[in-house]
Structures are given as structure tokens and as C-alpha cells.
Amino acid sequence: MRDPGHDGRVRLAAIDEAVACCKRCPRLVRWRAAVAIEPPRRFAGESYWARGVPGLGPADARIVIVGLAPAAHGGNRTGRIFTGDRSGDWLFRALHRAGLANQPVSTHRGDGLELIGTRITAVVHCAPPDNRPTPAERDRCLAHLVAELAVLERARAFVALGAFAWDGLLRAWRSAGEDVPRPAPRFAHGAEIVVGGRTLIGSYHPSQQNTFTGRLTEAMLDSVFARAVQAAGAGRRGGRGHARAAPARP
């Protein structure tokens, strides 16, 4: 295992720069720029990032959170993943309650937010129309996630926010040569699988569709991160391919 100190920071910075400069998906490049030109009234006059949005967090993170993609007026605007929208509000409050962030709010880059032993990334790094990347866009972006995971060698707990992230992370692991079971275990809130000594935990995405309807509650999200902290601290090894699905709590 490489030293995740200076070497890890340099490697991760190079990946983040490659993400920010990426133009592999013409549809997403057009969309991320178009929404910046005509933003909603509440963001009128703001300068949008309108590039690929890199992950956030240290190279020696023990916990990795994987989302779907940046929001058009969230990360695509601020340049920081999960920042500036309702989903991010839920996520950062939960991370702060779990002791994984130094503050419960993130509104823009440079606002003082620091993640503690945790990194946040995504399967797709550009905002897609209707939050729906195509399979081809997912596959083109997957190389960034594979490279990022190679740096995050100390991570022992992974949280997939939604089925797309669950599937994407399993695809990335399989692409990197990990022994992911076939057929892949299905996503569920609270589902777990251990791959190569890493525990993957499923969680409903903190989208407004889930939080406004009560499908995902703060208690449910807190439970997922408590389990992630436990799994990361235990440094669980072995048990490749073991899976367990837990029913979602109401």
C-alpha cells in the first residue's frame, strides 16, 4: 500500500484536474454550459463553475461517499460536489452529526468546510439533463472513478447514495479487477456487500423526491453513516463477495 500522504495528495490533485478539464461527453459539456448561461432567478449574476466537478476529501479517507452526478445549479454552479442544493444540505448536516465534517453547511468553495476521514465523489462528474446520464456517459466517466479509487487505498467503508451510485461503484471495482459477485447484489437502503475487504453500504439518495416524501429520514441517513464509521474503524478484511440486504426502516 502506497503512502497516502504527499504522494496521495499529488495523485488525487492530478485526477481532480483531469475531471475538471474533461470533455469526453459532448452532450454534458453543452448542458453544463447552457444552464450557466440562463440560470434561475435565484442564481442570476452568479459565475458558474460549468466544468467537471471533482471529488472532495483527503487521500487517506477511510470512508468514501459516492453519488450520481453534480446538480445543474448545485455542484455545477459552486464547483464543489454536493454543495449549493437541497441534497447537499441534507448530506452535510448528516456528516456533521456523524463527526465526519467540521460544519453542517456548505454553500461555496472556500466556505471553511473540511471533511474528516471522508471523501465524496460521484460516478459521473458533469451535471446531466434531468439528472440522467446515459450508459455511455457513465462508462466514459468511470475511468475517473477507477483512478480515484486506486488512490483511496485506505478506504474501508463506502456509502452509495442511490442505485446508480451502487451500480457504478461495483462496475468500477470490477473494472479494477476486484472480485465482484455476479449477478451483482441489488441496491437497497441498508444493503451491505463486502468486496476486497471494503464494506459497501446502500442509502437512498438525499434528493428532494426522497426527503420530502419521507422515504429517507434524517434518522435513516444517520444510521447509514454510523454503520460506515463502524465499518471503517473495524478495518474489516476478507469475506469477498459477502452480501447482506437490510430492509429500509419507515
pLDDT in tens, 102-161: 999 999 999 999 999 999 999 999 999 999 999 999 999 999 999 999 999 999 999 999
C-alpha distances in Å from residue 203, one per residue of 44, 66, 171, 220, 235: 33, 10, 18, 8, 21
- pTM, two decimals, is 0.91
Distance CA 143, CA 17 (A): 14
pLDDT in tens, 16-75: 999 999 999 999 999 999 999 999 999 999 999 999 999 999 999 999 999 999 999 999
